[in-house]
Structure 1
Amino acid sequence: MTGSSPAALSVLTLRETARPPTTGTGYRRRGERVPRLRQPPPHLDLLVDGVPLQRLLVELPVPEPGTYGFGDTFDLVSVADLAHPGYAAGDLRRLAGELPPDDELWPLEPGRLPLYVCPIDGDLACGAVTVAVHHDATTTTWSGFRLQNGYSDDELGLDLSALGPFVFARDAHRDVLLRAADDLDALEAEDRAAEEAHRREHGPRGRWRRLTGR
């Protein structure tokens, strides 16, 4: 599958998917305060015409199978990672064209945004699948897929452009991303409330332990 012709628009959807079996601790450190993070949280995978994009990426022929998780497995999560719903909501709004790029966190060329990131800390240095996103009056196009990382001297990274391009109806593309972003905002608010409740319940006890050593 190499994508749709402009005459046949693709449809973008999101679906909860288990995260890869990674030994990251980014979400686990908050598990004591946020009960839902005591189990590995899923991410919202990106589906194009009902097919998970990560499956299409795994099936791509690459020069070195297994590179950064390519080959038999896929070790990245989508930017809509439920481990970090606040950041995820912002990334989805950037894909929708509702927010400007985060050039400090993602120093990518203009028009290029991350789709899949490291499941531990979401850092570009750990490797990320990026895509060129172009909006016009009626459509949004994803093209020029790449695997990039901050350690490589090759700014272009691994060429994955055999996948795509995908052309979506702009309004439908925006609406599905913004609905998910709103849900992620609500999840972030729930997490903050859980953390605040934990501080109210355990804060004084924690301070007493630090003072007494018990």
Structure 2
Amino acid sequence: MSAEYATFGLAPAMRAGGVLANGDYQVHRDFVDFIVNGQPLLFQLSDLDAVSPLASDVPPAIFTAQVRSLLLEADAPLEGGRYVIYGCPECADLACGAVTAMIEKLGEDYVWRDFAWQTDERADLELNGYHGIGPFRFRGAEYREALGSLLTGPGGERRRVLLIGARVAVLAKLAAALRTIGIGAEITRDAADVPADELRTYGAVAFGRAVGEQERASVRQAFERAGVEVAYVDGLAPIIPLLVAQIEHALDRSPRDQRRLTRLVAADGEAGVEVTSTCRVQLIAYRLDRLYRTHAYEVFDGVLDAGRHRLALDAKATKGEAFIVARTSGSVLVEAMAR
């Protein structure tokens, strides 16, 4: 094997869920991504909407089995000694397509090679191989330490949100939307009497615009007494897809330098977007009219190369009180349109 050594690591990652402009739902998935030579391996596979088998919402026994499989402590799940590296985020069915690879030991080292897109039991490397990706040779100690830490480390991500606000109808719709995409949500006005063990299960707190500073301070104090850090979200407007996107961003625990979408600004009829690798980017504009009715506009949907981009926005879509949601398969950002 002539492959040069590559570094191997793991990092938290997210497949952003959400309420899409057409009314469809996209499931939220937290997972552990493979970091090869300092960058997520997923980013080398074009604009792929997929997650690794190391997802936080799988039962612990299955999660452990996946880790031990990657350590070659169990037989390969597919023919020809092939392993699933990334699969469908909605159902994990091989028929939807998966990135697979051969994993083998070479002395103390581990080698990943022959990457392919696979939709049935056998992979066609000539037709569907990822030529130019790999082989990767990982030092055994580094590889085993990274994966072994998943067997002894803490549990999954805190994927629950506490919703606090005055408009119960809006909060109920928001909670329903979050639950639909796989994020737990509860509604309250006062967190003072919530047991500390329960507060520790939340990853974010979302405040409605009508919540006063005294109420906000009381909630923050309750979480401080419980000894837990959470992300606080100030709801921009009573628009459900917009609020879901804000919460999705708040729940993103992936390192900033390992995200695809890293910057969004919205001003002067333009959106400024920065991406770290070539990927599909969608921009949705939401605005409230004078009667507080919601209007949604898809203002951009295309593939952008790595770097910064300035995208013109339709004046009608950003009239009055407006907001922009930028989305890739792995992350989402939200900005109010500067006026």
Verify same fold: TM over 0.5.
yes
Q: Among residues 137, 145, 159, which one is paired with 1:175 in the alignment?
A: 145
Q: Among residues 90, 93, 101, which one is paired with 2:68 in the alignment?
A: 93
Question: Unpaired segments of 5 or more residues in structure 1?
Answer: 26-39, 59-72, 103-107, 189-214
Structure 1: how far apart are the matches of 2:151 and 2:26?
24
Aligned residue identity for 2:67? L
Q: Among residues 39, 49, 52, which one is paired with 2:37 in the alignment?
A: 49
Aligned residue identity for 2:57? A
Please state if 1:138 is matched with 2:108. yes
Question: Unpaired segments of 5 or more residues in structure 2?
Answer: 19-24, 158-339
Aligned residue identity for 1:164? G
Which one has a bigger Cα radius of gyration? 2
Determine if contact 2:71/2:144 at 8 Å carries over to the other structure: yes
Structure 2: how far apart are the matches of 1:74 and 1:160?
13
**1:94/1:118 Cα in 2 relative to 1: closer, same or farther (>3 Å)?**
same
**1:172/1:48 Cα in 2 relative to 1: closer, same or farther (>3 Å)?**
same
In structure 2, the partner of 1:9 is: 5
Deviations 1:154-175 (A, max 9, x none): 7426211320110011232122
Matches within 5 A, 1:53-68: 53-58=41-46
Quick check: which one's helix share is greater? 1
Q: Among residues 130, 133, 136, which one is paired with 1:166 in the alignment?
A: 136
Quick check: which one's strand share is greater? 2
In structure 2, the partner of 1:128 is: 98
Q: Taking every aligned residue pair, what percent have the same amino acid on both sides?
A: 28
**Which structure exhibits the higher relative contact order, with contacts defined as CA atoms closer than 8 Å and separated by 6 or more residues?**
1
Structure 1: how far apart are the matches of 2:63 and 2:41?
17
The alignment's C-alpha RMSD in Å is: 2.6
What is the TM-score with the length of structure 2 in the denominator? 0.40
What is the TM-score with the length of structure 1 in the denominator? 0.61
Aligned residue identity for 2:34? L
Determine if contact 1:143/1:161 at 8 Å carries over to the other structure: no
Aligned residue identity for 2:146? V
Q: Comparing 154-163 with 87-96, which one deviates more in the overlay?
A: 154-163
Count of residue correspondences: 148
SS at match of 2:107: coil
Structure 1: how far apart are the matches of 2:150 and 2:131?
27
Determine if contact 2:29/2:89 at 8 Å carries over to the other structure: no
Structure 1: how far apart are the matches of 2:151 and 2:90?
21
